[in-house]
Amino acid sequence: MIDIKFLRENPEIVKQNIRNKFQDEKLPLVDEVMELDKKNRAYIAEGDRLRADRNRLSKQIGALMGQGKREEAEAVKAQVTANAERLAELETLEAECAEQIKAIMMKIPNIIDPSVPIGKDDSENVEIERFGEPVTPDFEIPYHTDILESLHGIDLDSARRVAGNGFYYLTGDIARLHSAVITYARDFMIDRGFTYCVPPFMIRSNVVTGVMSFAEMDAMMYKIEGEDLYLIGTSEHSMIGRYIDQMLPEAQLPLTLTSYSPCFRKEKGAHGIEERGIYRIHQFEKQEMIVICKPEESPMWFDRLWKNTVDLFRTLDIPVRTLECCSGDLADLKVKSLDVEAWSPRQQKYFEVGSCSNLGDAQARRLKIRIKGENGTYLPHTLNNTVVAPPRMLIAFVENNMNEDGSVNIPTVLQPYMGGKTKITK
């Protein structure tokens, strides 16, 4: 959510930003919110005048009574009563108007960074850099679930009977590998100075609307029936929500956190969730990184965050590339976003395994997270990035580390987490 003052002073910039995101249907919202803002400020100004008059008239009543001018004092009292009634009316109008403004402002997209390429959707995202040489083995790489099934590592049929499509059982060494990757990612981030956290896996609605757009909320979140609670789609939501309505001392910044959680997603609109695959699923686990920092430091942290993911994947012998998300592919709260994609030898292409985002002060503004600095208070910037999400990561892992005999190599850094094993075999 952008600052109402910025919109008031720069309506054309806000409109052009909407055009750059190819959301022209939202253009009327700018004029609508400006009209409401004008009306609301008039209510506030009138209310301030009436409050000032109340003090003046109260003194006048005392003076008139002291002079024995009872009738004149009663007339002034009547005016005070009328003013009080109007003031109560204005306060109601103010509150209603402010609520309308907030609802509209939450639909207007954040101002994107000038470096973001302009494009309609993810097909126009821009490749930035490749890390590692993509390898194409001289033997056929099977579909990832076939590999996992051959290693007795996955049971999709049972999961479908128990929970439906989009779920899975992991077993044996593959289940162990899944846990090993998460634990390794945790230690990798701790070694880079991040504080490890395990957050609540459910959050209230005021946190949900503080960390994401309504469209994302509708497409992702599972609601707990009968309670004001939602299952988290990523630990970022719970981690940022930790600081809701808090005033933090500037000396605490930057907050650099890495969190583990299960994640639950409806994947609404993701047509045809693969029945056999684990690329797009309803439940998975993830290690995340979150930063809350000074506004001027967020570009630096953005680069550091995505590089952490690249470095982790390279220690696992998986080639990756970075992709700059274009304007039309950015969620409304995001200022800038970059995807990390892993190489798939089977598909002969890269696919997304992580996403790094700078949300500017949008989440802090919605959640009322403030920083107390030497020169007053301000809103911090929030950033997040995937360290690793094993379902997709497992696909990249088994494809890039598979041998012709069907076994899968375990990179050196993971071997201590796998009891010293060097391979997973049939």
pLDDT of residue 268: 63
Q: What's this model's pTM, rounded to 2 decimal places?
A: 0.89
In whole angstroms, give the CA distance from residue 257 to residue 368. 20
**If you count them, how many residues does the chain have?**
426
> Which domains, ranges and CATH numbers included, belong to the chain?
4-105 (1.10.287.40), 122-424 (3.30.930.10)
pLDDT of residue 59: 63
Interstrand relation of 349-358 and 336-344 (parallel, antiparallel or unpaired):
antiparallel
Tell me the pLDDT tens digit for each residue of 371-398: 999 989 999 999 999 999 988 999 999 9
Mean pLDDT of 294-321: 97
Tell me the pLDDT tens digit for each residue of 106-116: 999 999 999 99
Q: In what order do the strands lie in the sheet with 370-373?
A: 247-249, 370-373, 376-378
Work out the mean pLDDT of the chain and round it to a whole number. 92
Selection from 125, 144, 163, 120 nearest residue 394 by Cα: 144
Number of Cβ within 10 Å of residue 217's Cβ equals 17
Those residues with Cβ within 8 angstroms of residue 214's Cβ, 6 or more apart along the chain or in another chain: 106, 107
pLDDT of residue 273: 45
Tell me the pLDDT tens digit for each residue of 181-210: 999 999 999 999 999 999 999 999 999 999
In whole angstroms, give the CA distance from residue 137 to residue 348. 11
Rounded to 10°, the helix 27-66/70-105 angle is: 160
Tell me the pLDDT tens digit for each residue of 144-161: 999 999 999 999 999 999
pLDDT of residue 51: 82
Tell me the pLDDT tens digit for each residue of 38-83: 999 999 998 888 887 776 776 666 666 667 777 777 777 777 777 7
Query: What's the start-to-end Cα distance of the chain, in Å?
Result: 52
**DSSP letter for each residue of 290-329:** EEEE-GGGHHHHHHHHHHHHHHHHHHTT--EEEEEPPGGG
Mapped onto helix, strand or coil, the DSSP state of residue 332 is: coil
pLDDT at 269 over 70: no
In whole angstroms, give the CA distance from residue 159 to residue 278. 12
In whole angstroms, give the CA distance from residue 145 to residue 308. 28
